[in-house]
Structure 1
């Protein structure tokens, strides 16, 4: 199992902007065969070092993660994130 975690800091951290982006991320659910699970959460602490959104996705293998990366539904998300993202960090690990 491969877990892919991405944290996003948005240019506009307003509740409306965060909610819109959360929905864009959640819209991938059920549309990408390789995507085994998806969880999207928003920050509740709001500290200086906080990011606005956490995305946690799981895949059966690295090949499945690679297929997700180029899937048309994921590319829609990438386009949206390119417009609204100030910064992001990610980690991928095997369990």
Structure 2
């Protein structure tokens, strides 16, 4: 199992639910995506990011295919990137 986690810092916290909905829209549209979880931060501490995406794949190769999948590029990244101040990732196999 390969897990890809992305932490997002948004330009405006008011965008969190919209960004969450964009990410959740991938459910069932990208065959390589085996698991999807999106969380909005509720504590808003100095260390907090605003949003987290946790995705799971069978293999690293599947994650790489997801990264360039038409839906991910044209329906997710296209609308999400303008909302972002920054992002950080953690990728691991288990």
Shared fold (TM-score, shorter chain, > 0.5): yes
Give the TM-score, by structure 1 length.
Answer: 0.94
Displacement, 1:81? Answer: 2.1
Aligned to 1:31: 29
Give the TM-score, by structure 2 length.
Answer: 0.95
Aligned to 1:64: 62
Matched residue count: 93
2:5 & 2:27 partners in 1: Cα distance? 15
Within-5 A mapping of 1:81-92 = 81-92=80-91
Displacement, 1:80? Answer: 1.6
2:52 & 2:30 partners in 1: Cα distance? 19
1:63 & 1:48 partners in 2: Cα distance? 35
Displacement, 1:11? Answer: 0.2
- RMSD across aligned positions (CA): 0.7
4+ runs deviating over 3 angstroms: none
2:3 & 2:25 partners in 1: Cα distance? 19
For 1:26-47, what per-residue CA distance to the aligned partner results, in whole angstroms no more than 9, with x for missing partners? 0000000000000000111111
